[in-house]
Amino acid sequence: MIHTTPGSDDMWDISDEEFMERMTESAKAVVDHFGEHISYVNVMRNMSVSCDCEGTAAEPVVTPNVGILASLDILAVDQACVDLVYAMKEEDRHALVERIESRHGLRQLTYMKELEMGNDRYHLIDIDHEDREITLAEAVKDVVPFEE
């Protein structure tokens, strides 16, 4: 298990940073194996602060739906998603940003870069509007708070 020290009875005994690094190393193994046969699609919809790995019901969704991002570069697409969250209005992003930062989630991005898994620079292309390149601010300007 990536979140446990071998032989430990505590399922979550490793540090937050080490957990993020182990998750990244696991992803790297998959990326290295499949190489150019992978495309990455991140759906930024119904985003909860909870992780499905917690084994409990997710917290209510509070983050606006942004859209779907795709890339052939795992780091670029993940970096773009995080940048889009940070580009939202404070009240829309607060809960998710607090969870990302308190759990050291940004370490996955920096570690991907250290492991040379991709490039953290990217272009946002709006395929709904003639493949026009857009800014982060343009991408989130019309998002509205999530409502059930």
Task: Name the residue ranges covered by the structural domains of the chain.
Answer: 16-140
What is the tens place of the pLDDT at every residue in 28-59?
999 999 999 999 999 998 887 776 556 566 66
**Minimum mean pLDDT among 13-27, 60-74, 86-100: which range?**
13-27
The residue behind tokens 């889009």 is 84
Strands 124-126 and 132-134: antiparallel
Average pLDDT, the chain: 86
User: Cα angle vertex 71, ends 131, 92, to 5°?
Assistant: 80
Instruction: Name 126's bridge partners.
Output: 132
What is the tens place of the pLDDT at every residue in 105-131?
899 999 999 999 999 999 999 999 999
| pTM attached to this predicted model | 0.85
